[in-house]
Structure 1
Amino acid sequence: MAEGLLQKVRIWDLPTRLFHWALVLCVIGSVASAKLGGNAMVWHMRLGYAVLALLGFRILWGLFGGHWSRFSAFLYGPAALIRYLRGRPRPDDHFEVGHSPLGAVSVLAMLVWILLQVGSGLIADDEIATTGPLIRFVSGEVSLAWTSYHKSWGQWGLYALVSLHVLAILYYRLGRGRNLLGAMFSGDKHLSVQVPAARDSLATRLFALTLLGACAAAVYLLVSLETP
């Protein structure tokens, strides 16, 4: 369809976009502070707590957020995935609107992996000066095992998933002419199909802020369990 016949539709609401970029910054900062070590480990822990609060918010927003940010909008079955891989979508699939089936797998894998990485950090012990706030609730053997995971499989798996994410963005931009990053900045896509727009009003944004505040408070209480 000609460019003039395309219509601009709000796909990614502001809370989803802010979550995305906040998570990017926190993960980068967390990795950098871990590599620096020493006093920077204080920030590694703080950024880990921030990531946990963000993930909690994203789970809730996946249930109550804008249409295309909800899990129900991108939880595809095997048949839909096969249609996507074969390049034979049905008219009502709308794979190019929100997350494609492969994109959905990537997003869910990233969220689960980061959550597992943060969770392992909560009970980790670097045997130098830094321990996770919940370490007293597990045995030394469990802490040692999850510390090893945090530094090895967890770390390298995160790098692999981030690399695949970046490569997918480049593929869509250079190979298929789709600017995925642009939509994550503006929230809008120009589409030739009629699809519902995401709710992105002041009320929904305030609701999102309330959810984030609740998640931050929950993480603070969780971390406070460190003190007997």
Structure 2
Amino acid sequence: MTPARSLRVWDPLVRALHWSLVMAVAVTWLSTLRVGIPLAWHEPAGYVAIGCIAMRLVWGVYGTRYARFRQFVRRPSTTLRYAQAVRQGRAPRHIGHNPLGGWMVLTLLASTAAIAVSGWLQTTDRYWGSETLEWVHTGLAWSLLGLIFLHVLGVIVTSRHHGENLVLAMLDGRKAPASGNDVA
């Protein structure tokens, strides 16, 4: 039985930026594979991604409660304790991002920004045709794919452990209110 979902957690801007970034990253990948997306879309999608990241950074400071980094980025020691609790099957439910999720947000944003910057640098006179920078850009992109896999796996594991659909929550912004040992 799924608890009633009445608490608004993810505001419209957080959700729009999340799904826009998902789409931008997907377009950049598909354009390099030449699978229905023209290669010409690769660079504009990278600019969309960096724009989403810039807006998310601003919203992480000035946004709504659960959008703010200070609400969900925990100390490394707290995150380590949470990871141990996950491994033991006793991790508490968090209304916003859990400690591992908070660090994953930062890692995904930083990785995607590094990819976008390394891609942009390749358009400059100084780095045009740089094989080293192309290698860095491609390596970062493959690393991002691994991080995305871990992110999705974390969403699935957490959803199952707490009996809530986190993907749906990121679509409509709502979760069940805190109860018992939940962390608000």
Please give the TM-score of this superposition, normalised by the length of structure 1: 0.69
The CA distance in 1 between the partners of 2:133 and 2:94, in whole Å, is 39
**Offset of residue 100 of structure 1:** 0.7
Alignment of 1:158 onto 2:158? no
Alignment of 1:20 onto 2:15? no
The amino acid of 1:186's aligned partner reads: D
The amino acid of 2:75's aligned partner reads: G
Runs of 4+ in 1 over 6 A off after TM superposition: none
Partner residue, 1:183? 169
**Offset of residue 171 of structure 1:** 1.4
**Offset of residue 85 of structure 1:** 3.0
SS state at 2:175 partner: strand
The CA distance in 2 between the partners of 1:30 and 1:8, in whole Å, is 36
Q: Give identity over the alignment, percent.
A: 29
Partner residue, 2:131? 144
Q: Larger Rg: 1 or 2?
A: 1
The amino acid of 1:75's aligned partner reads: V
Consecutive unaligned residues in structure 1, runs of 5 or more = 89-93, 125-131, 198-228
**Structure 2 contact 31–38 (Cα < 8 Å) conserved:** yes
SS state at 2:176 partner: strand
Partner residue, 1:167? 153
**Offset of residue 41 of structure 1:** 2.3
Structure-2 change in CA distance of 1:25 and 1:52 (3 Å) = same
SS state at 1:191 partner: coil
**Offset of residue 165 of structure 1:** 1.1
The CA distance in 2 between the partners of 1:18 and 1:33, in whole Å, is 22
**Structure 2 contact 5–174 (Cα < 8 Å) conserved:** no
The CA distance in 2 between the partners of 1:20 and 1:139, in whole Å, is 30
**Structure 2 contact 121–127 (Cα < 8 Å) conserved:** no
**Structure 1 contact 123–147 (Cα < 8 Å) conserved:** no
Partner residue, 2:45? 47
Structure-2 change in CA distance of 1:8 and 1:140 (3 Å) = closer
**Offset of residue 20 of structure 1:** 0.6
Partner residue, 2:108? 110
**Structure 1 contact 34–44 (Cα < 8 Å) conserved:** yes
**Offset of residue 8 of structure 1:** 2.4
Consecutive unaligned residues in structure 2, runs of 5 or more = 87-91
CA shift digits 1:68-107 (9 cap, x unpaired): 111111121133223323439xxxxx86111111111111
Partner residue, 2:65? 67
**Structure 2 contact 60–68 (Cα < 8 Å) conserved:** yes
**Structure 1 contact 95–101 (Cα < 8 Å) conserved:** no
**Offset of residue 57 of structure 1:** 0.5
The CA distance in 1 between the partners of 2:133 and 2:18, in whole Å, is 27
Partner residue, 2:83? 85
Please give the TM-score of this superposition, normalised by the length of structure 2: 0.84
